[in-house]
Every structure is written in structure tokens, then in C-alpha cells.
Amino acid sequence: MLEVFELQCFIQNYLWGKKGFASEVSRLSLAGQHIDSIDEKQFYAELWMGALHKSPSLVKSSGQKLSEWIKSNNEALGEKSRLKFGDELPFLMKVLSINSALSIQVHPSKDYAEELHKQYPELYQDSNHKPEMAIALSNFEGLCGFRPYSEIRFFLEEIPEFKLILGSDLIDQFKKDTTNSQNLLKDIFYKLMSSEKGIISQNLSSHKKNLQSLCDDKKNVFLAKLFNQLDCWFPNDVGCFCIYFLNYIQLSPGQAIYLGANEPHAYIYGDCVECMACSDNVVRAGLTPKYIDVKTLCRVLNFNGAPAESKLFCGVKENSYTTLFRPPVPDFAVACIKVPADEMYELLKRDVASIIIVVHGQGKITAPQDLILSTGKVFMVPANVILQIHVGFESLELYQAFVNL
């Protein structure tokens, strides 16, 4: 039987990440010996755990790429995974530490990703879909999905700059014709996103001044703090106006959101464990200096309006210590495992390979072999291996990603 082994993982130093010791990514990476030291001036945005070709994890004992190890030991993936995905690990698990917003974006479905890759390979460099799930490790903020239509109508009516950008006729039609809200919202959003930059810049400046004159209660209603923060990070960016169309989500540690195909979203601030299918297909909508493909964006977007609370993705208790977050895609699922101090525990058997990260605590694996568990360490667990864990003097918190079959 193949054994469990430790992984050496890589960091991405994107400019939206948290700096130095403020970053959960840097904390875990230093504790798990993925890095030797922390630079207070450096950004630590993402810790990658998987076999994605850009930055594959390494077998710590040998330095071999995990992708190469899998090719030589493909039975480790498990029969069900190999039948569905071949001899590859189809997911990437990450820890993210976010200090400024990522771009508002959407990921196309599998079928449409294949079409986009075929037509525009320079923009959409692979043919896979990219569903994602984020589980908060700290208080976490983001945008997710279109607001209920009633909320969007309120902002369109109460913010005068929208009438100047969109025109009164389109807004009045959206207000009156409630049977055609989805199509009208599509027209409104397309017009907003395709407006001239000078018009957007002028109206963003006007709206910012109007917000300053409001009382505190009104400022809260119109999300003044969020608007000003985004405007500071991305001045003159149309994405600043998108907060009045998309749900503003605030997660507590342990809460999750799932981002399926065509769901507009953006992470704004906080730390999370993220798991995703292996792909780089992103259609951007704002809060970015990168290319915005408005036609493709509005073609793929899900324009259904729904309340913020409907975007929470709930886990299911597998036992008293394990909560499973199982999205409606086969590419991945994530189990959150919290074991109290001074406890013996047997992890649930998975018939597919998994990757585990320790985000808090210490202990040891006592079977099938002896391995030390401590904060930041990452392990590859072959299919059908049962782990016996002895937790030490402080509780242990693990995240385990695996194929959802």
C-alpha cells in the first residue's frame, strides 16, 4: 500500500495579498516550512496545494513534482477518480490572504469554456470549467451573485449617476416591467459595463462626493465605506458601481460560498481555504487593469436575482468532528476536520486521493506510519488509506480536499 507523504508547496506573491506577518498564507507557510522566513514588505497572497502545472507541489522528501509522482503511482488516485479524470489530480486547494479586492469575474461552464478556448485561445488558455469554493478562516468579505431585483431597482432610482449613465427610459422600464426583469437587467448591465471610461470616471467622482454628504445611516445603506475602499484601490473603475448590482457577502470563520459556472463574484478581504477545478478561465467585469470582455461576460452571466443569504454554502456533518462541503460538481469536495485536544481519531476513509493541510494545532499520524502533524504542514494521502491521528495538547484543525465522486 502506498504511504502518506508530506508536500512542499509554493506561494504566489500577488499584489492583492496581505503583507508580511499579517498574512495567514505567510504564517502557515513559515510554520509548515514552505518558506524559511517572512519579509514584512512582501505580499503573501496564495499557498497552492496540488499538481497544477504552473506551480505543482513537490514531494518533500525527494523534490519530485507531485504531477510526476502521480504519473508513476497513478493507483494512488483511486479507481473512480481515474475513470472520471484520467491520471491527473483535477483540483487545486489553496489558502488565500486578501488585502485588496480581486477582480469581479465569472467562470464559464465546461461547454462554453471549450468553445471559448477554441475561438480565442490567447485569452482563454484551457478548455476546462473553473468552479470554486471558499471557506472562511477569518472574517471574510466578497461579492457574489446579483442582488434581488427589488434592491437593484432601489439603487438605480436613488443614485442619480445611474440615470446619467444608463438613461431614464431603461431604468423606468426595469422598474415597471417586473415580468421581464432578467432580460432588462442584462441590457442595463451591458450598457453600464460598455460605457465610455470618461463617463464612468465622471460619475464615480460625482457619486463619491454625494456619499460624503450623507448621514451615517444613509452611508451604510449606500455602502459608502465599501465604495470608497474600492475607489481607492481601483480609481475610475466601473467595478466600483457593481456593488449596487451584486450581493455584498460577509462570512464568519467556517462559513462558505460556492461559485459555480456563470456566477459573478469577487473576493474583497480576508483569509480562506479555496478549492477549485484546474483551470485559468476567467471573464472579468471590473476592479482590474486586465482585459474586460463585455460581450462574453454578458453572454455567460447568470442574471438571476437572489438574496445574499442564499449564497451561503452549507456543509453537512459526516460525524462529530467532520463537516463536508460537497458542491454540485465532481471535481472536488472539502472536509473540515476539527478534533479536540488529547483525542484519538480515525479520519474517514476516502476511496480517492486527498490533500490535507493543518491550519491549526499539533498531533501525529500513528497509522499507517508515523508522521508529525503541525500547523502549516501539507500531506498527500493516497486513496483508501485510513489515517489514525493522535491529537496533542491543543485542538487540531485540518482541511482535506478530494474528488467528489
Q: Residue 305 has what DSSP assignment?
A: B
Which residue of the set 82, 284, 299, 326 is catalytic? 284
When computed from its CA atoms, the radius of gyration of the chain, rounded to whole angstroms, is: 23
Whether residue 107 is annotated as binding a ligand: the answer is: yes
Residue-wise DSSP of 32-101 = TTSSS---TTSEE-EEEEE--TTS--EETTT--BHHHHHHH-GGGG-HHHHHHH-SS--EEEEEEEESSP
| Residue indicated by cell numbers 475602499 | 229
Instruction: Kindly state the cell numbers that stand for 231.
Output: 475607489
Is 350 among the residues known to form the active site?
no
What single letter denotes the amino acid at residue 127? S
236: phi > 0 → left, psi -120 to 50 → alpha, else beta; which?
Answer: left
CA-closest candidate to residue 369, choices 3, 53, 42: 3
CB proximity list for 230: less than 8 A, separation 6 or greater: 101, 237, 239, 240, 243, 268, 287
Does 368 sit behind a cis peptide bond, omega within 30 degrees of 0 on the bond before it?
A: yes
Whether residue 388 is annotated as binding a ligand: the answer is: no
Q: Helix, strand, or coil here: 211?
A: helix
CA 194 to centroid of chain Cα atoms: 26
By the 8 A CB rule, do 335 and 254 touch?
Answer: no
400: phi > 0 → left, psi -120 to 50 → alpha, else beta; which?
Answer: beta
| Residue indicated by cell numbers 478548455 | 127
Residue-wise DSSP of 127-166 = S----EEEEESSSEEEEEEEPPHHHHHHHHHH-HHHHHHH
Annotated binding site for Zn(2+): 105, 107, 132, 265
Q: Which residues are catalytic?
A: 284
Annotated binding site: 105, 107, 132, 265
